[in-house]
């Protein structure tokens, strides 16, 4: 997820590390805050893999800044990750939101629609956070008001996303 966010933001414009961290934190920070100890090793891995380049520029008032840019290989890698997401990228809500934030960069509407259809298929599968054996439990079947709340909120969120997915797929197809 972090690497996808790095590649996605750099696809849009070259950034220095601090600005990149601010943007990633705005996208995912409420769930998974991004610290320097996580971000900079990921940047180094991507740089070592040839997916991004670093250029030193003079700082405005302090030390030089390291501007990061996406290489052609980095652009191709981002498009591959967006077009061929792992199952977890489609099923985990936080990873899905990161993927969705950059899905517009896929060049074809048919490719975008294919990714959205995978999410739609996942959301249409019967599921719950709570089960009786193999059978998913509904909110009405739970005595615990807090667990019932989890399922009620999840159902409302899923209903809104399903509506959006179907409408967006219609517009893409």
Q: What is the DSSP string of 45-105?
A: HHHHTTSEEEEEE--SSSS-EEEEEE-HHHHHHHHHHHHS--HHHHHSHHHHHHHHHHGGG
Say what the alpha-carbon torsion angle 164, 91, 9, 40 is, to the nearest 10 degrees.
160
Which pLDDT score is estimated for 91? Answer: 94
Which pLDDT score is estimated for 35? Answer: 74
For residues 98 and 28, is the Cβ–Cβ distance under 8 A?
yes
Residues of the chain with pLDDT under 70: 29-33, 59-62
Which pLDDT score is estimated for 30? Answer: 62
Which pLDDT score is estimated for 64? Answer: 76
Which pLDDT score is estimated for 60? Answer: 67
Cα torsion angle, 149, 150, 151, 152, sign? positive
């Amino acid at each position: 997820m972090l690497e996808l966010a790095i590649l996605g933001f750099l696809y849009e414009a070259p950034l220095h590390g601090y600005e990149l961290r601010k943007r990633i934190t705005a996208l995912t920070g409420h769930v998974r805050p991004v610290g320097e100890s996580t971000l900079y090793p990921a940047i180094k891995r991507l740089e070592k893999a040839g997916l991004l380049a670093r250029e030193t520029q003079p700082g405005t008032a302090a030390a030089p800044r390291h501007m990061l840019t996406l290489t052609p290989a980095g652009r191709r890698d981002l498009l591959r990750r967006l077009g061929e997401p792992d199952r977890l990228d489609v099923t985990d809500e936080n990873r899905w939101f990161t993927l969705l934030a950059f899905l517009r960069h896929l060049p074809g509407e048919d490719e975008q629609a294919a990714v959205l259809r995978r999410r739609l298929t996942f959301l249409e599968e019967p599921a719950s956070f709570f089960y009786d054996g193999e059978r998913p439990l509904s909110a009405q079947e739970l005595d615990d008001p807090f667990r019932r709340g989890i399922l009620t909120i999840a159902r409302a969120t899923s209903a809104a996303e399903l509506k959006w997915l179907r409408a967006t797929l219609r517009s893409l197809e």
